[in-house]
Amino acid sequence: MTDVHQKLFPTTIIGSHPKPKWLNRVRNLNEEGEFSDERLQEAMDDAVRVVADEHERAGIDILGDGEMRREEMVEYFAHRIPGYDFNGPVRVWGNNYFEKPSVVDELGDPEPMLVDEFEFTRRAVSEGHGVKVPITGPYTLYDWSFDEVYGDKRELIMRLADIVNDEIRRLADAGAKYIQIDEPALSTRPEDIDLVVEATQRVVDGVTKEEHDNIERQIMHVCYGDYGAIYPRMLDIPVDQFSLEFVNQDFAHVEEFAEHDFDKEIGFGCVDIHDREVEAVGEIKSNIERAFGFVDPEQVWVNPDCGVKLLPRDVAFGKLENMSQAAEELREEYE
């Protein structure tokens, strides 16, 4: 498959995409015992094909499966890591809830969690597109869970880091090139930045692009919170790229980032996933160009602020399509 990251302004997604309504219906029927696990699996496979096609038609270079097999970014992994349990939903914002897990026993080693979904997605996409695999990072897995066993923050985070590292090693061995470590909790707990640096060193051990032939990029996605509280220390996190939210924060940290040598790539959030209005191509181009205030064009990847799963499908598609068109026009201007 072509290394599309070598072009100027590669376009990519963060992770989630709106699920087809029929998939949500199938999940409900499965939970009620009226739809078999085998038929649910077939439905999820079909949904991945649909989303991959939407990403391609929107012009995305490095795409994903839209997390069609996942319900929530912590819950999905906690269901698969021995030692976690669930006690009911927790309200997170508005009328949105998630099943907050609890660590009720020492964490065991899970079976492979993401390799099958990566391999299926790779088969579903056309030649010339890359596939990104998001995986929730150890700090967010810790912070968005209850700890009833360890009582030692660092010990639990490092155990989770080992589990995430094992999974990334399996992905890399299977041919995954683009790994995204999701750490949205990081910017909300700036006092733990040193722990995140240490944990990420363990997460990427043996699977940096210098150490593993298949890996092209280790990316960290961070949204919410105050980036200024973790900058420039965040540059010590051993990843190749930060994928960050900018539009929803009104580009608040662009000038601050310029105060230090931003020596990594930036996945520049250039469309707002909280707004149902599809931004015009010209507006998105202007948004992307704000990145040039602290990095060179060659360091810029183009992506939404965050996952688009809460948007209507037509709105999500429109935003991705216009984003890709904006990147293409900028490519013609800057090459």
> What distance in Å separates the CA atoms of residue 305 and residue 308, rounded to the nearest whole number?
9
Helical axes 115-124 vs 153-173, angle rounded to 10°: 40
Q: Measured between alpha carbons, how far is residue 24 from residues 27, 29, 40, 44, 291 in Å?
A: 5, 9, 10, 10, 37
- 306 has binding-site annotation: yes
Extract the tokens encoding 161.
Answer: 């880091």
- 223 has binding-site annotation: yes
- 245 has binding-site annotation: yes
**Tokens 């009720």 sit at which residue?**
104
Question: How many CB atoms are located within 10 Å of the residue 56 CB?
Answer: 16
Q: If DSSP codes are grouped into helix, strand and coil, which group holds residue 331?
A: helix
> What distance in Å separates the CA atoms of residue 59 and residue 55, rounded to the nearest whole number?
6
- 270 has binding-site annotation: no
Extract the tokens encoding 229.
Answer: 């509280």
23-52 burial, b if ≥16 CB within 10 A, otherwise e? beebbeebeeeebeeeebeebbbebbbbbb
Annotated binding residues for Zn(2+), written as ranges, equal 221, 223, 245, 306
Annotated binding residues, written as ranges, equal 221, 223, 245, 306
